[in-house]
Amino acid sequence: MLATALSDKRGLESTLTKLQEELQEMETGLAQAKKQLADEMLMRIDLENRCQSLTEEMDFRKSMHEEVRIRLVMPREKSVCISSHTRLCLVGFDLFNSSTN
């Protein structure tokens, strides 16, 4: 009976040691997974910020392009207006210029 108890004790100690090693491996894996998650969250935030910056830059460039296009098109429209509806178009053109400046 004593021999059986000692044998059971050795078996349980062996099982305990194996479980402790497995627990240590799992804790190490968990720590690595947490670090990887934190790294990926930072990367996601960085990418979202870069995407936002690029979107804002694109909107700014569109706005600038539209402004340049309008400035290039307006003199042509003025000359067309002068030849077809001199008084009406010049009034409209002057109102547009005074409202943008």
pTM above 0.75, yes or no: no
* pLDDT tens readout for residues 76-93: 655 555 555 444 444 444
Indicate if the alpha-carbon torsion angle 71, 75, 81, 86 is positive or negative: positive
The answer to whether 72 touches 84, Cβ cutoff 8 Å, is no
Stretch 27-39: mean pLDDT, rounded? 98
Domain containing 94: what range?
2-100
Question: How many domains, in total, are found in the chain?
Answer: 1
As to burial, measured by CB atoms within 10 angstroms (0-12 exposed, 13-18 middle, 19+ buried), residue 74 is: middle
- Residue 72's pLDDT is 87
- Residue 74's pLDDT is 75
As to burial, measured by CB atoms within 10 angstroms (0-12 exposed, 13-18 middle, 19+ buried), residue 18 is: exposed
Average pLDDT, the chain: 83
DSSP 8-class letter at 101: -
